[in-house]
Amino acid sequence: MIQNMPFKEFFTEYGEANLYEIQEVVGKGSYGVVAAAVDTHTGEKVAIKKINDIFEHVCEATRILREIKLLRLLRHQDIVEIKHIMLPPCRREFKDIYVVFELMETDLHHVIKTNDDLTPGHHQFFLYQLLRALKYIHSANVFHRDLKPKNILANADCKLKICDFGLARASFGDAPSAVFWTDYVATRWYRAPELCGSFFSKYTPAIDIWSIGCIFAEMVTGKPLFPGKNVVHQLELITDLLGTPSLEAILRIRNDKARRYLSSMRRKAPIPLSQRFPNVDPLALRLLERLIAFDPKDRPSAEEALADPYFYGLADVEDEPSTQHISKFEFEFERRNLTKEDVRELIYREILEYHPQMLQEYLRGADQIHFMYPSGADQFKQQFFRLEGQVGRTPMRRRYASLPRERVCGLIEEDPDRSDSRSQAVVPVPRPVLQSPRNSLEIKRSEAPKASAKAKGDHKVSCYSARCLLRSDSISASKCIGVQGEDYLCNRLTYGILVNDHPANGSWI
């Protein structure tokens, strides 16, 4: 465990430091530091990620901008949540940012590595959560592009949450592929074959489905499925298991070099997965075979995979949420050659989404820099003023310049039968302990509350404050959203994974 860092050293000059009490530093990396902390107003445990010198390299700063924007727009129980971003002391000169996440204890890589007794019930429930998250992400026309066990956070109650959207992209019909894929550097072991050699001219959400299949196989066996040493070795390992691609698949490849390579490859017969994994549930193997099909058109969508017989008694596809496509204006910056100051202003604007009053003042300011594209913040400017009742008057004074969502939104209707993992603090324990989950077939569908609103992606807003009712194509972090029926499956299954001390490799967030 990394030694505790002095409070002042962690927060430097940020004025909101008194909102949080640092408990311990749990990770360090080239990006900066991650600390476990407690919100002094709510008592909630959080993880604070301090990102140092983010504007030293424009490409890295752009990646951070992309991630915090996507995590604001994609709100789902299986995606890590940004709770707050601290306001920088100086708009035009800040170098560090502090992002407050919900606290997660470890990642899936650590769970797989330290627990050799994961049960078929764990495998099923883990895969279900990942596919449920992918259904939501893909419904927004977003590809994650870097799914791997280290980018999936885990808690003691078996909750998984996808994180690290720095390489993710929102897909738009008119987006040139050169812009869309220029910096693709995802981990090779989980990379779909069409990404190994530019095999296909148009990529699809199937690239994420392949990654999920590789992760699922690793959960089952405890070892990576295709640990290639380089691109050629990666393709050899893939074809050793799946066999040589069909002639039809090879003919559809537009890259001449890749087509010649596969055509000249010695013919290989596929190895039955039941032979490679003799002790695995046949239903699980049939789904795995679909997830890692060589040809992307043969892989199921996340929604189709959730309907697989493997999830009988667990998944209700119609109840799993979807969302609207993200507006291309949110990511217009991807088409531009940004300067350091451009990215700084865009990140500052994004931070203000978590500071409603400061955002209002910023939008009224005469000295603001003109942006190269209309931000989502502009789209709800008038609604903000109208709902606040402040048109033509001095803005109402609040006790705090920046308020977390719980305090901005006021009262939230609560279901006493619902256990919301986002508001619970899970206490870490010194060593791994696994409890056998109930078989998912024992779960009666009548016990599970239906989330009819969630099925259509229409999250029910259950707040009394008018500030919660801001409407915009850009989802504001200041909205207060109550989702019915959330987490009931995890609670019903009563899983228990108790993990080791927090890893010191920065895998929290």
Do 57 and 134 share a structural domain?
no
The verdict on residue 47 lying in a domain is yes
Distances (CA, A) of 258 to 9, 198, 230, 234, 265: 52, 8, 15, 14, 11
Within a domain: residue 342? yes
CB-side exposure of 370: number of CA atoms within 13 Å? Answer: 1
Q: Tell whether 298 and 366 lie within a shared domain.
A: no
Report the C-alpha gap between 377 and 392 in whole angstroms.
20
308 is catalytic: no
Q: Are 270 and 350 in the same domain?
A: no
Residue in 78, 96, 107, 146 annotated catalytic:
146
At which of 319, 350, 384 does a domain end?
319
Residues 351 and 305 in one domain: no
Show the DSSP H helices in 334-395 as ranges: 340-351, 356-364, 376-379, 381-388
Q: Does 159 carry a binding-site annotation?
A: no
The reply to whether 1 falls in a domain is no
User: Residue 247's domain is classified under what CATH number?
Assistant: 1.10.510.10
Is 505 within the bounds of a domain? Answer: no
Q: Does 474 lie in the same domain as 407?
A: yes
Q: How many domains does the chain have?
A: 2
- Evaluate whether residue 16 is within a structural domain: yes
Asked if residue 451 and residue 359 are part of one domain, the reply reads: yes
Domain that holds residue 183: 107-319
* Confidence (pTM): 0.70
Same domain, 410 and 465: yes
Are 121 and 99 members of one domain? no
- Which of the listed residues 259, 293, 319 is the one where a domain comes to its end? 319
C-alpha–C-alpha distance, residues 260 and 422, integer Å: 51
Separation between Cα atoms, residue 84 and residue 74, nearest integer Å: 15
3-state helix, strand, coil in the chain (%, to 5): 40, 10, 50
Q: Are residues 304 and 453 located together in one domain of the fold? A: no
For residues 106 and 139, what is the distance between their CA atoms, to the nearest angstrom?
A: 27
**End position of a domain, from candidates 291, 319, 347:** 319
The pLDDT profile of the chain, 509 residues, written as one tens digit per residue, is 444 455 555 555 555 667 888 888 888 877 788 999 999 999 999 999 999 899 999 999 999 999 999 999 999 999 999 999 998 888 888 999 999 999 999 999 999 999 888 999 999 999 999 999 999 999 999 999 999 999 999 998 999 999 999 899 888 865 544 444 444 555 889 998 888 765 555 678 999 999 999 999 999 999 999 999 988 899 899 999 999 998 888 877 666 777 788 888 889 999 999 999 999 999 999 999 999 999 999 999 999 999 999 999 887 887 888 988 888 888 888 888 889 999 999 999 999 999 988 887 777 773 544 443 333 333 333 433 443 444 444 434 333 333 333 333 333 333 434 344 333 333 343 434 444 444 443 433 333 333 333 333 443 333 323 222 222 333 333 332 233 333 433 433 333 333 333 333 434 44
Please tell me whether residues 408 and 433 are part of one structural domain.
yes
Q: What is the CATH number of the domain that holds 411?
A: 3.30.200.20
Q: Is residue 366 part of a domain?
A: yes
- Residue 438 CA to residue 496 CA, distance in Å, equals 11
| CA dist., res. 34 & res. 48, Å (int) | 6
In a domain? residue 2: no
Establish if 331 belongs to a structural domain: no
User: 57 and 154 share a domain?
Assistant: no
Same domain, 137 and 277: yes
